[in-house]
Structure 1
Amino acid sequence: MGAAPLTLTYHLYRAVTALAAPLALRAARKRFIARNGPMTRFPERNGRFSEPRPAGPLIWLHAVSVGEFLSILDLVRDLTQDGTKVLVTTTTSSAAELAAQRLPSGVLHQFAPVDTPGAVRRFLDHWHPDLAVFVESEIWPNQIVMAHKRGIPLALINARLSGKSLEQWQKHRSTARALLSRFSRILCQTDTTRNALIQLSSDDDTIETTGDMKAAAGALPYDPSEVERLAPLLAKRPLWVASSTHEGEEDQVSAAHRAVIREHADALLILVPRHPERGDAIEALLKQKGWTIARRSRGDLVAPDTQVYLADTLGETGLWYHLSPIVLVGGSFTPVGGHNPYEPAHFGCAILHGPLYANFTLAYEAMRAAGACEEVEDAAALGGAVADLIRSDRQQNLARNASAFIDQAGNNRAGVVSSLISLMK
């Protein structure tokens, strides 16, 4: 089926993004500065390249942030096995830092262009990829339409569609069809998403279910020497991790830890904020609440009287999951959609989460059904759950179930690789 006609809504979007390009770039710059992005690389957001294009076929993979980036790491390694060149773009500076640490040798990284006609044109003029692959819910109209117009095959992988997004697209059904019909392949996390996209696009030939790539990703890395150094300091203490917390959640985690301390006086909380650049603000909050803290980014050691260890560094989440038997996955007490529960499952942790997890609904439902995680409603429930899990059989049961679940979880990554490579032929 050919591409559906572009709609008035799209043409208006293109006109507005062209006229408002300076404002869009200014807003992007403000966010870039707030997240401590490297300003020497900010021109990449305007489509200005900072690396030469490698010779030969090139696959462009866009993964907006940390979660999406981590989900494609193994896929990138698979795609480069035969020497294929890959360019990965992200939007956030935290994802860019991880890219610098974890991308295979030879894989390029750039910040993605803002979705204005000028920035996208400059980006495509330089990189002219042979395949453009978007991850999860990255539907940027100018990037899609302009790449398709140049004859670049498009794929959307690990696709997901929230109820709110579906409702919005249904209001603009013709525009949704125009954009979706420009993809040569759409690979979905679930049949629910597949069926919804088929309804929007009126095409079931290019859309299939391949499972959640986050479940198929390997375990997060960690430094064994740091395990050896830290384990003796932590071994005799009740320990739990609050991971990927967002603004507002540290208050609730602090209240929960207060409840844990009442039952286990020597308990230690390792607090891992989603955005390490918030470390100063979090430290000030914790001190205001009277906690004795140590801070990872400052090189502080965990002392016998340390109550909270602020792990405000990037790329060490695997270390804390390896060391701790109990993990709260954050982003679930504020409306950001939750974060990846598969990551602590790889380490056999007892996994807790809050009630707000729209981006991982199916993952949490499946894990709860397998007895591999527990939902807690608020700070009081969190504190009670952690205190109860410490040194209990229930903690061990949750941990075993989490390990068993992740061992059985799968995604047809080999099929995804084959599907993508076929689009370049």
Structure 2
Amino acid sequence: MRAPPLFHLYVAATVLLAPFVAWFEIRKLRRQGLSALRAHEKMGHASQPRIGSGNLIWFHAASVGESLSVLALITRMGEMLPRAHFLITSGTPTSAKLVADRMPPRTVHQFAPLDAGGPLTRFLHHWRPAAAIFVESELWPRMLRMTRARGTMMALVNARLSAKSRAAWARRPGFAAYVLDVFDLILTQNDDMAQAMVDMHAPADRVARGSNLKSMSAPLPQNPALLAQIRTAIKARPIWVAASTHKGEETTVLDAHKTLLQTIPDLLLILVPRHPDRSDEVAKLIAKHDLTYALRSDGALPRDDHAVYLADTLGELGNWYALSDVVFLGGSLLPIGGHNPFEVVQSEAAVLSGPHVTNFAETINKMVETGAAEIVADVEALTFSVGHLLQDGAHKAASLRAARAFVQGKSDELTRIAARLIHILKLEDDNR
């Protein structure tokens, strides 16, 4: 396909702007504590050697959520391709740290090169990927076309574009068709997005509905030593978790907990704000409800007289999920979009969620249909559902069975997606 004039204009702009963008990006990474060696990955200078003699499969994601969403897929593809190695690129130090903490076997992380000729040439020459898999909305024109020009097989997975992005691409149909033509396969999150990609002039015969990879994410990490400490401290107390709560939701959670204490007096709430820097604000709210609490960031453990354990730290959510069969998932009582319910059921817990779950609508709806999740719209519904799960053993057992079945179904679906990518990207030979 011939490059449209707008693509040539974009290339010219990157030539002019690359030195300034490079200075800004490297300076930003250095200020965030990265070494000069790692910061210069933005310029395509690899900080690690190319690994292995087999095929290298490159995954490119933008930020934390997208990076973490593909770790389970990398792991599954690695099981199916034991000689393959993997490279994951992203753009933020936070994503780099979290990926490093959960790195699948035979995988390395690098910061993504700038979308400019020099950085991309160095990057592609060093890593020589056999296949490149881009995640969600990472559509950098030069990166895509230069990767394809090397003969690399390419896919877009978990494809998702906002209405604003779709409208912008729709105004440039020739440019959109030229960029999207690089992909051998485009897997979208749902049918609506599949149609949107076709409307944006993606090749219709290469577009298919996939699934939201965030609903197949790898299990959250746990700290066995910490879990042993907490379990010793709480003994046999009943527990429920309110995770990833946002401003305006903690009041509902604490009102529900206060009511539940009237019938379950030794009940412990583990409250995990989405943003730990809100710790002081949430602590004041707990005190305003006349509830006693311990603070995780102080290193404290919950005592028998503590009604709430305020878990105001990052990266420990897997521990709190492991402690309870009942988890309310925040970001859902208000129009925020919700958070990942699959991480909860992977820990064999029942999910309670508010109604505002646009980010995971398909996942939550299927979980509700199977009994692995319940929707609670207000404090009365939250109080009833938590109490019902804690006090009705048969109801809780049925919810947990549904959760386990949902996890198994997603595991099978992940295998199918991995097998499809391996086939379309012609990676089968690396399994010999």
TM-score where L is the length of structure 1: 0.81
**Residue 41 (structure 2) aligns with:** 44
Task: Describe the shift of the 1:252–1:21 C-alpha distance in structure 2 as closer, same or farther (beyond 3 A).
Answer: farther
Task: Describe the shift of the 1:111–1:391 C-alpha distance in structure 2 as closer, same or farther (beyond 3 A).
Answer: farther
**Within-5 A mapping of 1:19-30:** 19-21=16-18, 24=21, 28=25
1:320 to partner: Cα distance: 1.8
Match of 2:249, SS state, is helix
**Residue 418 (structure 1) aligns with:** 422
Separation of aligned partners in 2, 1:199 and 1:210: 17
Task: Describe the shift of the 1:37–1:192 C-alpha distance in structure 2 as closer, same or farther (beyond 3 A).
Answer: farther
Q: Does 24-33 or 356-365 show the bigger shift?
A: 24-33
Task: Say whether residues 1:172 and 2:172 are aligned partners.
Answer: yes
Larger Rg, first or second structure (1 or 2): 2
**Residue 59 (structure 1) aligns with:** 57
1:338 to partner: Cα distance: 3.2
Contact 1:339 1:360 (C-alpha < 8 Å) held by counterparts = yes
**Within-5 A mapping of 1:351-390:** 351-377=351-377, 382=382, 385-386=385-386, 389-390=389-390
Instruction: State the one-letter code of the partner of 2:111.
Output: F
**Residue 111 (structure 1) aligns with:** 111
Task: Say whether residues 1:282 and 2:286 are aligned partners.
Answer: no
1:386 to partner: Cα distance: 4.1
1:142 to partner: Cα distance: 2.7
Match of 1:328, SS state, is strand
Instruction: State the one-letter code of the partner of 2:172.
Output: H
Instruction: State the one-letter code of the partner of 1:67.
Output: G
For residues 304-359 of structure 1, give each alpha carbon's deviation from its aligned partner in whole angstroms, at most 9, with x where no partner exists. Answer: 34323315132x33322221222233344566643321121223322123344333
Contact 1:130 1:424 (C-alpha < 8 Å) held by counterparts = no
**Residue 138 (structure 2) aligns with:** 138
Instruction: State the one-letter code of the partner of 2:45.
Output: R
Instruction: State the one-letter code of the partner of 2:423.
Output: S
Instruction: State the one-letter code of the partner of 1:42.
Output: A
For residues 254-308 of structure 1, give each alpha carbon's deviation from its aligned partner in whole angstroms, at most 9, with x where no partner exists. Answer: 442243124315543324455xxx53x2222223335454444553222234323
**Within-5 A mapping of 1:77-226:** 77-80=75-78, 81-201=81-201, 203-217=203-217, 219-226=219-226
1:50 to partner: Cα distance: 1.5
Match of 2:183, SS state, is coil
Separation of aligned partners in 2, 1:37 and 1:244: 27
1:168 to partner: Cα distance: 4.0
1:181 to partner: Cα distance: 0.7
Separation of aligned partners in 2, 1:26 and 1:382: 50
1:243 to partner: Cα distance: 2.8
User: In structure 2, which of residues 70, 73, 98 is the aligned counterpart of residue 72 of structure 1?
Assistant: 70
Match of 2:233, SS state, is helix
Match of 1:201, SS state, is coil
Match of 1:133, SS state, is strand
TM-score where L is the length of structure 2: 0.80
Instruction: State the one-letter code of the partner of 1:284.
Output: D
Gaps of 5+ in 2: none
Contact 2:422 2:428 (C-alpha < 8 Å) held by counterparts = no
Instruction: State the one-letter code of the partner of 2:278.
Output: I
1:215 to partner: Cα distance: 4.2
Separation of aligned partners in 1, 2:141 and 2:43: 16
1:31 to partner: Cα distance: 7.0
Instruction: State the one-letter code of the partner of 1:180.
Output: L
Instruction: State the one-letter code of the partner of 2:257.
Output: V
Match of 1:59, SS state, is strand
Match of 1:48, SS state, is coil
1:87 to partner: Cα distance: 1.0
Q: How many residues align?
A: 413
Separation of aligned partners in 2, 1:400 and 1:163: 38
Contact 1:75 1:417 (C-alpha < 8 Å) held by counterparts = no
Match of 2:148, SS state, is helix
1:53 to partner: Cα distance: 2.5
Match of 1:422, SS state, is coil
1:422 to partner: Cα distance: 0.3
**Residue 405 (structure 1) aligns with:** 406
For residues 101-153 of structure 1, give each alpha carbon's deviation from its aligned partner in whole angstroms, at most 9, with x where no partner exists. Answer: 22234421112234455543443343332321112332222321222233332
Separation of aligned partners in 1, 2:268 and 2:34: 34
Q: Percent identity?
A: 35
Match of 2:391, SS state, is coil
Separation of aligned partners in 2, 1:322 and 1:403: 14
In angstroms, what is the RMSD of aligned CA positions?
Answer: 3.5
Match of 1:186, SS state, is strand
Separation of aligned partners in 1, 2:332 and 2:13: 35
Separation of aligned partners in 1, 2:355 and 2:171: 28
Separation of aligned partners in 2, 1:118 and 1:79: 31
Task: Describe the shift of the 1:195–1:13 C-alpha distance in structure 2 as closer, same or farther (beyond 3 A).
Answer: same
**Within-5 A mapping of 1:297-312:** 297-306=297-306, 307-312=308-313
Task: Describe the shift of the 1:290–1:323 C-alpha distance in structure 2 as closer, same or farther (beyond 3 A).
Answer: closer
Task: Describe the shift of the 1:377–1:167 C-alpha distance in structure 2 as closer, same or farther (beyond 3 A).
Answer: farther
Task: Describe the shift of the 1:362–1:155 C-alpha distance in structure 2 as closer, same or farther (beyond 3 A).
Answer: same
Contact 1:144 1:179 (C-alpha < 8 Å) held by counterparts = yes
Task: Describe the shift of the 1:164–1:186 C-alpha distance in structure 2 as closer, same or farther (beyond 3 A).
Answer: same
Contact 1:86 1:107 (C-alpha < 8 Å) held by counterparts = yes
Separation of aligned partners in 1, 2:193 and 2:324: 35
**Residue 319 (structure 2) aligns with:** 319
1:362 to partner: Cα distance: 1.6
Separation of aligned partners in 1, 2:267 and 2:173: 53
1:98 to partner: Cα distance: 2.8
For residues 179-226 of structure 1, give each alpha carbon's deviation from its aligned partner in whole angstroms, at most 9, with x where no partner exists. Answer: 111112223343433333233235233223343444445543434454
Gaps of 5+ in 1: none
Contact 1:252 1:378 (C-alpha < 8 Å) held by counterparts = no
Match of 2:176, SS state, is helix
